[in-house]
Copies of this chain bind each other. A is one copy, B any other.
């Protein structure tokens, strides 16, 4: 059942993306340029992701706080690298009849420093792991729903430590949480690595990233984790009393994942019939279409029986609308509902259920007795297939190159490139200007080999791509 409102992905990828968002009722444009209104389906996806990540954070002792959107401009100006990078992207606000310029948060390192200063006295108070789920604001020239918006939602985890080793280890631990969520729940394959100095977070010592590859050959940075060292602590005079009763600057990390991940989800899994979603993320996991007379007593009882256990375990919606079968099935499918159960006269009579899978459109008729274990298996296969399909596509679209000629060919063919690269901000910049490709991340400590660009020997393998 093809939904004709969805533009073909092959003909027009950007148009396809926008049409999926519209038809799946995920978001609409806000009245101010670059903003979006999350509609119930879009917001529910985000809330499902929030729950999964928040549960992981709780396990490692993270506490949630909520800090103000507004910051003092004078506070904001203290960390120089941070300011240089964020200033052009920052909205400012003011109250009527006031001359005070307020910074509208583009990220909250500074607001967290303000809190940390009041929370931390001695080493006994460390480590401190605080997170917030919030809206964040950046001025953007080219905006696209979820991928790049003036206002977006995210979590920002900010941690404070008494020594470098512990902080460095936290930065990697935060990344591990994102890896787990992306692989097991969002089913998005990725390359994990460190950012180059040119691409790292402004104010960080080291930035780590998970980079996914979209079907159009563009990379998408899914989440990042930063080891901040003592950069912010020194700028904001953030110290703690050590066991020896002297004072030392704290070590910090921050890590974030934003609503941009919804863009990655859409592009990774969806097709020309609309949205496809991992099972645990879908706002409606199982849609039920009842075909014959709903007032018929046998039908009513049978539907009730099929549903009663489902409703306890899954997010289930029964479509009681008077529309056609095809319309009802398609309506669930375009919104990314992983499984549609069809219950018609035959199913009622034979005590069966027809299960339709969203991704493959595969139909399976099962008896009521075998329905529960069969559905469970279907769900496992569904998630596994989604992941494997995306993983295969990623791997065939990564090309290893040995020289700049091969590099240009690969980038022009919309591939992600993997190459030995001797780290150099100058060469990185040149490559970007010539090809539009940026370094996505570094995989360090590989067997030594020659840089594809400079010919110098290096142990760093670097991934390059054009990027969202």
Contact = CB atoms under 8 A, between A and B. Distances in A.
B30 A114 contact: yes
Interface in A86-116: 87-88, 90-96, 98, 102, 104, 111, 114-115
A47 B64 contact: yes
Given A68-B30, A135-B69, A150-B70, A63 B91 contact: no
Interface stretch (A31-39, A200-208, A245-253): A31-39
A72 interface: yes
Nearest to A62: B40
Contacts of A71: 31-32
Interface string A254-289: 000000000000000000000000000000000000
Interface string A134-149: 1101010000000000
Nearest to A90: B96
B40 A64 contact: yes
Copies of this chain assembled into the complex: 2
Contact of A40 (B65, B96, B134): B65
Contact of A43 (B40, B47, B65, B137): B65
A67 interface: yes
B31 A43 contact: no
- Residue of A28, A88, A93 most packed against chain B (CB within 10 A): A93
A32 B90 CA distance: 17
B95 A36 contact: no
Given A37-B65, A43-B64, A87-B96, 20 more contacts: A28-B115, A30-B68, A30-B111, A31-B68, A31-B71, A31-B75, A32-B68, A32-B70, A32-B71, A35-B70, A37-B67, A37-B114, A39-B115, A40-B63, A47-B64, A90-B96, A91-B102, A92-B93, A93-B93, A95-B150
- Residue of A69, A88, A92, A151 most packed against chain B (CB within 10 A): A69
B92 A151 contact: no
- Residue of A67, A95, A115 most packed against chain B (CB within 10 A): A95
B115 A37 contact: yes
Q: Contact residue range for chain A?
A: 35 or more
A66 interface: yes
A77 to B, nearest CB: 13
A237 to B, nearest CB: 14
28 contacts: A30-B67, A30-B68, A30-B70, A30-B111, A31-B111, A31-B114, A32-B70, A32-B102, A35-B68, A35-B70, A37-B66, A37-B67, A37-B115, A38-B66, A40-B64, A43-B66, A46-B66, A47-B64, A66-B153, A68-B151, A69-B135, A90-B96, A91-B93, A91-B94, A92-B93, A95-B139, A95-B150, A135-B135
